[in-house]
Amino acid sequence: MDEQKRTIALTDDDENVRMSLERTIKKHFKDAQVLQFSNTVDIKKHLLNNPNQIDLLILDIHFGMGETGLDILPDIKKYSPALPVILLSAMEKTYGQAVTEKAGDYIIDFMSKPVTETELIIKITKALNSKDANAEQLKRLHSENTLLSEMLSSEDEQGAGRLFENEVQTKILSMKKVFLGEPHEPKENIVVNGQEIDTIAFTAPPLPFSIMVFETKYFPNAKVYGNVNEPMRVSVNGVEKVSTKRRNLFEQSENQFKQVSKRMEKILKDAGYAKSEEIYRPFIQSFVVFTDSTDISEINASNANKYTKICKLKDLTPDFIIKTAFAMPKRQVDETVKKIVLEKLF
Model confidence at 9, in pLDDT bands (50, 70, 90)?
Answer: very high
Model confidence at 227, in pLDDT bands (50, 70, 90)?
Answer: confident
Q: Does residue 93 have a pLDDT over 80?
A: no
Q: What is the pLDDT of residue 156?
A: 44
pTM reported for the whole predicted model: 0.53
Query: 256-315, pLDDT tens digit by residue?
Result: 778 778 888 888 888 888 766 666 777 788 888 888 988 888 888 777 777 788 889 999
121, 164 contact by CB (below 8 A): no
Model confidence at 1, in pLDDT bands (50, 70, 90)?
Answer: very low
% pLDDT > 90, the chain: 17
- Angle (CA) 95 96 100, round 5°: 115
Determine how many CB atoms are found less than 10 A away from the CB of residue 345. Answer: 19
Mean pLDDT of the chain: 79
Kindly give the interhelix angle for 160-174 and 117-152, rounded to the nearest 10 degrees. 30
9, 15, 18: which is closest to 44 by C-alpha? 9
Q: What is the mean pLDDT of residues 42-48?
A: 93
- Sheet order of strands, 56-60 included: 33-37, 7-11, 56-60, 85-89, 109-112
